[in-house]
Amino acid sequence: MGNILPFSGLDFFILVFGFILFLHLFKNILNKIISYKNLVFIVIVLYISVFIPNAQKILFFLIYVYVVYWIYVANKYQETLFPMLIIALPMILHKFDIDPIFKVIGISYITFRTIQAIVDSHNYGKLSFVEFTSFLLFPTTLLAGPIDRSYRFQEDLQKGYENLTFTNIGKGWDILLVGVLFKFIFAECVNKFWLIPIDENSVHLLDMMNSAYSYTTYLFFDFAGYSAMAVGLSIMMGITVPMNFNHPYLAPNPQDFWRRFHITLGSWLTDYFFKPLYKYLHNFNILKGKRLLIQNLAIIATFLLMGMWNGFTWYFIFSGFLFGIYSAIHNIYVVYVKKGGYDYFTIFPNIISLNLKRFLMINGAVLALYFFSGRVPI
């Protein structure tokens, strides 16, 4: 049948709204026939099989990662590095365009969700194949997140039909409308009337600045809109997916920026990469007692990983490196002030100081995301 990728057009929304209507109209009958968890699993498998191109590759990849997951959890292994690398291998091959069998849509997000499920198995136990599949391939978050946590997702699956309420319909609808407005109105207008007309090959400073600001504006509305639509539709289906954006350009520093911009990715990297790496670096004698240096090495490595996760091209990696440098510099400054150093921002009244920090952060983010865009004429 047709190719209906998540949020690719009107067909997808008709399909999802039909399922939501079906759930809410017949939830009392369905509750007596089939568990919500099994129903979601069946619908996901049918959706992937019928409406997603090259569905066999997704299902093959699903079996691959579940076998690795099952072997790891069943044997109660404590070391997570090796299975994480085995699970990440298809994504790495995909990024390098080496093996077409791993050209799977959403592979980056599926990989991160699988790694998270492995690490969290120590505290939350083993997921069944049904639970594992539903978590990895839930349609609204399949392509671009948000990156949910397996244990939280399973809680909603267990509550099942209880979450199918008019309150959640209203809440999800409000968030969905914001997403539609952002992605299909604001982002499209910025793209058509601001971004596209710019000569991205121009080396004139004003043209480059215009390109940088227009792309950053477009990226925010497009991605924040997509994420909001994913959250809104999920809530209407009884799954409370976490929000992914919270006014990022009001952030006064890099740490706060990543608590507001692509929140679930930043949270994932903090919990499953930065913290273990920070702990691991303490084992090196050359770094003994150098806590600030260890923090900054872990910070920069984390943002480099973020860049490579988007793709193994220089502009993705350099963009991640810039964000790492911003965070390391801010970390050094915070420690300096805590140790009695002079806080130069106190020269100004609080409101001016806050907005000056925001101005610096916004322009730093614009520069890094300009490189991320690949539009820099180099």
pLDDT tens for 69-98 read 998 888 777 677 788 888 888 888 888 777
Q: Residue 258: what pLDDT?
A: 96
Query: Is pLDDT of 102 > 80?
Result: no
Q: Residue 232: what pLDDT?
A: 98
Task: For tokens 């997921």, name the residue.
Answer: 127
Query: Is pLDDT of 1 > 60?
Result: no
**186-206: average pLDDT:** 95
| CA 85, 231, 260, 131 torsion-angle sign | negative
Q: Residue 378: what pLDDT?
A: 80
Closest C-alpha to 143, from 103, 195, 108, 177: 108
Report the chain's mean pLDDT, rounded to a whole number.
93
Query: Is pLDDT of 201 > 60?
Result: yes
DSSP 137-159: H-GGGTTT-----HHHHHHHHHH
Predicted confidence band at 124 (pLDDT cuts at 50, 70, 90)?
confident
Closest C-alpha to 371, from 329, 330, 320: 320
Ordered by start, the domain boundaries in the chain are: 10-161, 166-243, 249-373
Query: Is pLDDT of 2 > 70?
Result: no
For residue 241, give the DSSP letter: P
Q: Residue 103: what pLDDT?
A: 76
Q: Residue 122: what pLDDT?
A: 81
Q: How do residues 202-229 score in pLDDT, each as one tens digit?
A: 999 999 999 999 999 999 999 999 999 9
**332-338: average pLDDT:** 97
